[in-house]
Amino acid sequence: MQRTFITWGALFAMLAVAVGAFGAHILKASLNESAMAVYETGVHYHMMHALGLLIVGLAAGQWGESGRLRWSGWLLIAGIILFSGSLYALSISGIKVLGAITPLGGVCFIAGWLLLALEGWSRKKAR
């Protein structure tokens, strides 16, 4: 599990840099200001949650594997795909209905962080 989430986290971080550069250098000329802001929000959340995956992987290495950590990592991955992916698609295509997917990704992010917090809290007494 540690190796899985560190690998996914690093790959998603790399992808966030590539997608951000693509937006800054290629899309900036063709997207309006509002669409570019939506795209940049997707990149921001993408990178922050890629770093969250690295944290989950490091926590698994420190604390050992657990169901909460496993779910936390998979929910962060789902959140990146649903939240950031829908914002990328929305900003590029202009298809507004794609915005309905974004909150599902946000719920995945919240649940993933909550599970990481609960796992950390449950470990506080183990010394």
- Burial category of 25 from C-beta neighbours within 10 Å (exposed 0-12, middle 13-18, buried 19 and up): exposed
Which domain does 107 fall in, by range? 2-122
What is the full per-residue pLDDT of the chain (127 aa) written as tens digits?
999 999 999 999 999 999 999 999 999 899 999 999 999 999 999 999 999 999 999 999 999 999 999 999 999 999 999 999 999 999 999 999 999 999 999 999 999 999 999 999 998 765 5
CA atoms within 13 A on the CB side of 117: 6
Residue 127 maps to a domain:
no
Query: What pLDDT does residue 127 have?
Result: 52
> What pLDDT, on a 0 to 100 scale, did the predictor assign at position 35?
96
Residue 106 belongs to some domain of the structure: yes
Task: Confirm whether 36 is domain-assigned.
Answer: yes
pTM: 0.94
The token pair that represents 4 in the structure block:
């899985």
pLDDT of residue 123: 84
Q: Number of folded domains in the chain?
A: 1
